[in-house]
Amino acid sequence: MINKLHPLAPVTGKVRRLASRLRQKLIRPEPRRPLTAETLDLFAPDFVTNPFPHYEELRRSGSVHFLPRHDCWLVLGYDDVLSALSQPQSFSSRVEEWMAVDSVLLGADPPEHTAVRRVVGHHFSAHALETQSAFAEEAAERLLRPLADGKTCDVLREFTAPLSEDVAAHLIGFDEAALAAIRATQDTAKDLGQWLAALDSIIAGAAERMPIYGQLLRDGEGRLGHAQVRSLIRFLWIAGTTTTRRAIASSVLMLLRHPSMRPVIESDPALLSAFIEESLRLHPPEHSILRVATAEVELSGVKIPAGALVKLCVGAANRDPARFAEPAALLLHRTPNRHLSFGGGIHRCVGAALARVEMAAALRVLLRLAPRFSAVQPLETLRFTGFVNDTEQLLIER
């Protein structure tokens, strides 16, 4: 009414109508071109921050897709991903990216893989797990003390990354000097190649002070030379730190999004485990496992040619509606919960049990020291659904 009498009323009205049209556009954006395998860009920001709607859109036209932009195949269906993981003779791990990191275990096929896997498995006994669990709890307590005392905490940088590094260093037997040198390379290495080389030389320098080094050499019974042992130790470090820090950070984010879960999981260790499994299922720290087809092979009736790079997408398989009821929902009573975040078949994660005890220790301590912790920024402003890389930031306070 006042506007009508005001000399600027007609202009204000136009501005209003324009603003309203703009608002409608923002709320109801122009219909996007339908997503196809031809147009999918795995590096596009909207895909990286929230790939799940893209998986579902693509799933409508099948489980197996060729992505021309990436010259690789993407497999989305649970049964297909598991089937490929269970056929190492058709889906080889001798993928360039895997072998660059470690060609002794991760990037190896049977029979070489079989013997090395047995040797490495000795270091993940039930007794070792118990020791690691107690160690993880102490480390989490130390790292979260400032939060309990009223300081803000950068979840990834001040809590989950140093925690997973401390636990991996403890498992491997890096002393303080080696650990400090390794941490320094993370800031100074310019690329992956330089970082891997720096890690290799730190491990060589610390070899005599690390019992695991001699044990792997001895247990390898001549199959493992010094270079292979260094590669294994380096990979244990990478596998033990890069994934776990993101897995714990994603579960902290889930507790922020579902605060009603806190008292439930705090009072019942079985429900804490169920929460951890759901967190891993919904937000695997690695969305894809790489393989290369050794010969022409068929998945869900689609022929994949020999030599093709195949991305087995556990991020999509874990939300396959044919396997999981209400796939996007967090359900503590989901049993069995056979998600594929730790892979499957002969390469299934050797550190899965360790990752689980570490996650449980981290969440127990967090809920004990800061039961009402909250995010410093509004959750709606977070760009990401879960922690899929190390650049994302989540600040919490007591």
Query: Residues interacting with ligand HEM, by CB under 6 A?
Result: 93, 105-106, 117, 120, 168, 171, 235-236, 239-240, 243-244, 247, 284-286, 289, 341-343, 347, 349-351, 354-355
> How far is the CA of 30 from the CAs of 15, 26, 50, in angstroms?
21, 9, 19
Crossing angle of helices 161-172 and 176-188, rounded to 10°: 130
Nearest to 83 by CA among 320, 243, 355: 320
CB 76 within 8 A of CB 316: yes
Q: Which CB atom, from 207 or from 346, has the smaller least distance to ligand HEM?
A: 346
Q: Which CB atom, from 118 or from 142, has the smaller least distance to ligand HEM?
A: 118
Q: Which CB atom, from 106 or from 332, has the smaller least distance to ligand HEM?
A: 106
Name the residue with the smallest CB distance to ligand HEM: 351
Nearest to 304 by CA among 316, 289, 294, 290: 294
CB of 335 to ligand HEM, least distance (A): 20
CB of 291 to ligand HEM, least distance (A): 7
CB of 99 to ligand HEM, least distance (A): 11
Which residues, including other chains, have CB under 8 Å from residue 164's CB and lie 6 or more apart? 240, 241, 244, 245, 248, 358
CB of 202 to ligand HEM, least distance (A): 17
The C-alpha angle 230, 248, 58, rounded to 5 degrees, equals: 95
CA distance 173 to 85: 31
CB of 341 to ligand HEM, least distance (A): 5
Q: Which CB atom, from 35 or from 255, has the smaller least distance to ligand HEM?
A: 255
Nearest to 95 by CA among 108, 104, 86: 108
> How many CA atoms are closer than 13 Å to the CA of 111, on its beta-carbon side?
1
Q: Which CB atom, from 85 or from 198, has the smaller least distance to ligand HEM?
A: 85
Q: Which CB atom, from 148 or from 238, has the smaller least distance to ligand HEM?
A: 238
CB of 168 to ligand HEM, least distance (A): 5
Q: Which CB atom, from 83 or from 341, has the smaller least distance to ligand HEM?
A: 341
CA distance 160 to 355: 12
Q: Return phi, psi of residue 380, to 5°.
A: -65, -20
CB of 325 to ligand HEM, least distance (A): 23
Q: Which CB atom, from 166 or from 286, has the smaller least distance to ligand HEM?
A: 286
- Which residue type, as a one-letter code, is found at position 356? R
CB of 93 to ligand HEM, least distance (A): 5
> In the numeric block, which tokens belong to residue 396?
């919490």
